[in-house]
Structure 1
Amino acid sequence: MKSQSVVIVGGASGLGLVTARLMVDRGAAKIGLIDRNEALLASSAAELEAMGAEVATAVADISRADTAHGGFEAVAKKLGRIHALVNSAAIYPRKPILEISDDDWDLENAINIKGTYHMMVAAVRHMRQFVSTPEVTGRIVNVTSVDAFKAHPQNAHYAATKAAVVSLTKSFAQECAADQILVNSVAPAGFATDRAKELGFLPELAKASALGRAAEPVEMAEWIVMMASSRNTYATGENVVISGGYIYV
């Protein structure tokens, strides 16, 4: 990640922030954070700046093209060329299949699918300015989920959106290959976030995993960093499942 500039959507907390910390540790010089929580953005930016990174932030509603693109452009205006985008923003509601309303579907699709799409479009438009074949122009990493491949109770609408993101990743990889923009996704199993601990499924996940434990967030961030870094020169259209042997795809 040395001297790279990276935009992380949903980077004010959770896996996005863990990824940002790891990227700065690995030499990323500039980090752009896009999130809807202004207070968390400020505190996370201050933390990363204390680690030595130049940080730009934008509060944005990623479910709309104009505000999503505006957020990316605002960050890029401050940081200059963006080498990588990480899409880590998502919502994770749980409801039985017979109770999922139209509003539930609309919100889930707006953030997890449309939001990811809008940010990818913004990144591709920006990165295409720097095409220099055969060098890699840019990298996009989408955070999906094993839920895209394995059914779980009370999870249908979330799982459907994550399957859609896997498909979007492959479509963008095909269309962006000529511009040397590499597009991949990372699909974690559940890992030890505060939200996962609250929901209480980690012990069950640990028992079902070949390794006998749930992952720590930084173990997932390692794979995101790899795919977003200059070490990735050939992988595109791939979805990497990181599950500790919970699922094999």
Structure 2
Amino acid sequence: MRLAGKTAIVTGASSGIGRAISLLFAQEGAIVIAADVTTDVVEGGTPVIDELNKVSDKAIFVKADIAKAAEVQALFDDVAKRYGRIDILVNNAVVRGGSSLVDTDEAEWDRVTDVNLKGAYLCLRAAVRQMLTQKIVDEARGRIVNITSQHGMIAAPGDFAYGVSKAGMVYMTKQVASDYGHESIICNAVAPGKILTGKGGRAVDPEMLDYSRSRTPLPRLGKPIDVARAVLFLASAEATYVTGHNLMVDGGWMAR
């Protein structure tokens, strides 16, 4: 119960990594606010709130488009009013592009960066504004974990807008940690490697899987729970002197 009584907003909570984080947080005692633009589960299955209710009677689902400032602010204002504070934000919501630079039209650029970059910024801003008003508990006014990617540090083959957006999240992690560390606001990131979420499409094309396996020293590709466990550590009081860090959960991808 490492998060007992903590309020935690998880964006992109309906599917994949966000779903795994939400469920693990609930198992560890957190009051989970699962936020997503849809209740549909990309990999199939029951809505995340149904699974959360099997673990906790305190979890709630909030439908919100994090690319819209008004919806983000309404989400954070409601959680702060309802629970008195926001202990944890997990900035996980993401969309992929799938085009190289010359094939990335303006619509794709806007669609990807509106969620991955602008949405992350809006959530960070709302979270920090609230956390600045809170008392210090367990050495922190609040803790933030951004979900980045190894492709925020090296090229994302054929996925220009996505790579740029993740690089921006890596930078924002360091900036927030630097600017607000003296206020006891902790900001870190987790950078997944290739994670098999159950999603179809380009992510599981044989060519892409072969590429990912060739880059990963460990004998398997990742699972959402691998990422969730790392996020749990950074969101908990166990990470007592860690901020501004981008933790690789990549099976050794970046070591090769």
Q: TM-score, normalised by structure 1?
A: 0.92
User: Are residue 113 (structure 1) and residue 120 (structure 2) matched?
Assistant: no
Superposed, 1:32-51 pairs within 5 Å as: 32-38=33-39, 43-51=47-55
How many angstroms apart in 2 are the aligned matches of 1:152 and 1:134? 38
Offset, 1:38: 4.2
The answer (yes or no) to whether the contact 2:144–2:186 under 8 Å persists in 1 is yes
Residue equivalent to 1:172: 176
Superposed, 1:162-241 pairs within 5 Å as: 162-195=166-199, 198-200=204-206, 201-241=208-248
Q: TM-score, normalised by structure 2?
A: 0.89
Alpha-carbon distance change, 53 to 133 in structure 1, aligned in 2, over 3 angstroms? closer
Deviations 1:8-27 (A, max 9, x none): 01112110110111112222
Residue equivalent to 1:161: 165
Pairing partner for 1:150 from 147, 154, 157? 154
Offset, 1:134: 8.3
How many angstroms apart in 1 are the aligned matches of 2:122 and 2:106? 22
Alpha-carbon distance change, 135 to 153 in structure 1, aligned in 2, over 3 angstroms? closer
Amino acid at match of 2:33: G
| 3-state DSSP of counterpart to 1:33 | strand
Deviations 1:100-154 (A, max 9, x none): 0111111211111110010011111111121338821110000000011222321
Residue equivalent to 1:91: 95
Q: Which has the larger displacement, 87-96 or 139-148?
A: 87-96
The answer (yes or no) to whether the contact 2:150–2:191 under 8 Å persists in 1 is yes
Offset, 1:80: 3.3
Amino acid at match of 1:228: A
Deviations 1:39-58 (A, max 9, x none): 56x93112212212411222
Alpha-carbon distance change, 109 to 53 in structure 1, aligned in 2, over 3 angstroms? same
Alpha-carbon distance change, 74 to 98 in structure 1, aligned in 2, over 3 angstroms? same
Residue equivalent to 1:22: 24
Residue equivalent to 2:75: 71
Amino acid at match of 1:247: M
How many angstroms apart in 2 are the aligned matches of 1:244 and 1:51? 29
How many angstroms apart in 1 are the aligned matches of 2:157 and 2:77? 39
How many angstroms apart in 2 are the aligned matches of 1:58 and 1:39? 13
Amino acid at match of 2:15: S
How many angstroms apart in 2 are the aligned matches of 1:207 and 1:198? 14
How many angstroms apart in 1 are the aligned matches of 2:205 and 2:58? 35
How many angstroms apart in 1 are the aligned matches of 2:80 and 2:24? 21
The answer (yes or no) to whether the contact 1:9–1:89 under 8 Å persists in 2 is yes
| 3-state DSSP of counterpart to 2:187 | strand
Deviations 1:209-231 (A, max 9, x none): 11122011101111111111111
How many correspondences in the alignment? 247
Unaligned runs of 5+ in 2: none
Offset, 1:61: 1.8
Residue equivalent to 2:11: 9
Offset, 1:187: 0.6
Unaligned runs of 5+ in 1: none
The answer (yes or no) to whether the contact 1:68–1:118 under 8 Å persists in 2 is yes
Amino acid at match of 1:219: D
The answer (yes or no) to whether the contact 1:187–1:239 under 8 Å persists in 2 is yes
User: Are residue 31 (structure 1) and residue 32 (structure 2) matched?
Assistant: yes
Offset, 1:171: 0.8
| 3-state DSSP of counterpart to 1:130 | coil
Q: RMSD between aligned alpha carbons?
A: 2.0
Offset, 1:202: 2.8
How many angstroms apart in 2 are the aligned matches of 1:76 and 1:14? 26
